[in-house]
Amino acid sequence: MIGQIIKAYNLNMTEALEENPTAYRSFNHFFTRELKSAVRPLTTENSSIASPADGVISQAGAISDDTIFQAKGKSFTATDLLGGDSERAAPFREGLFSTIYLSPRDYHRLHMPVTGKLTQMLHIPGRLFSVNAATTESVPRLFARNERVVCLFDTEIGEMALVLVGAIFVSSIETVWHGVVTPPTREQVRSWQYADENIVLEKGAEMGRFNMGSTIIVLFGKEKARWQTEIVAGKAVKMGEKIGNIL
């Protein structure tokens, strides 16, 4: 199965820390493989925002009051995305968002766009719709309906949210500080508080990972950051490259 995926998606195994496909103990071990550090150089500009993942920009832009654009006339709210708590979503009103889709060919570890101190994590149960372009254009409020893990950080420019959205075939979402968050899937929202713990992750540090393709959504507050002009729908990005600037 590993060999079939490598062939089907033309994966470049010379980027992997372990280049030998037969050395992986399981398919998931292969799918969440670590890369050589040199193949994903981290932007070194002090004011830069790094891409948290390999993938394609699904959408990126301004949050209109509480509304985030999805595709083709469809949208969802930051409040719904973050678990239905308007106070939790308040720092992101009129802010900035970027939605990055990871396909099966992409590197599936997720990294910090900027340095941040972890304050809260939530596991929000939901559906497992596919998150490819076709379903994004057809399923209303897709990202606010799928199962997801919300990670909130304090940064030098205020609050940042990293939302790890589950999808079809995604059997595991995990973070470096907690381990596997889902499965198991529960009916109720679960929340963990970290404000009193000193969990600080530097820009570029690994913060989590997916099994199979999915989506990560980055949120910043109003007038806190701006994206590069080329960060638009359909743009391919690599983890660590500059996608924006802090203000």
Residue-level pLDDT at 133:
85
| Residues recorded for the chain | 247
Token pair belonging to 240 = 């660590």
Alpha-carbon distance of 92 to 225, in angstroms, equals 11
Q: How confident is the model at residue 153 (pLDDT cuts 50, 70, 90)?
A: very high
* pLDDT tens per residue across span 14-47: 999 999 999 999 988 998 999 998 999 999 998 9
Higher per-residue confidence, 79 vs 186 = 79
E strand or H helix at 103, and its extent? Answer: none
Using a pLDDT cut of 90, give the percent of the chain over it: 80
Strand pairing class (48-50; 109-111): unpaired
Q: Identify the sign of the CA torsion 218, 36, 233, 222.
A: positive
Higher per-residue confidence, 54 vs 73 = 54
Please work out, in degrees rounded to the nearest 5, the angle formed at the alpha carbon of residue 6 by the alpha carbons of 3 and 10.
Answer: 145
* pLDDT tens per residue across span 160-178: 999 999 887 665 799 999 9
pTM above 0.85, yes or no: yes
* pLDDT tens per residue across span 135-152: 898 999 999 999 999 999
Say if residue 8 is exposed, middle or buried (CB neighbours under 10 Å; 0-12, 13-18, 19+): exposed
Residues 6+ apart with CB under 8 A from 79: 66, 85, 86, 88, 89
Using a pLDDT cut of 70, give the percent of the chain over it: 97
- Residue positions annotated with a catalytic role: 54, 111, 214
Q: Where are the domains of the chain?
A: 1-39, 42-246
Q: How confident is the model at residue 104 (pLDDT cuts 50, 70, 90)?
A: confident
- Closest by alpha carbon to 143, among 80, 56, 62? 80
Q: Are 67 and 55 in contact (CB under 8 A)?
A: no
Strand pairing class (74-77; 67-71): antiparallel
Q: Which of the residue ranges 37-51, 79-93, 200-214, 227-241 would you say has the lowest mean pLDDT?
A: 200-214
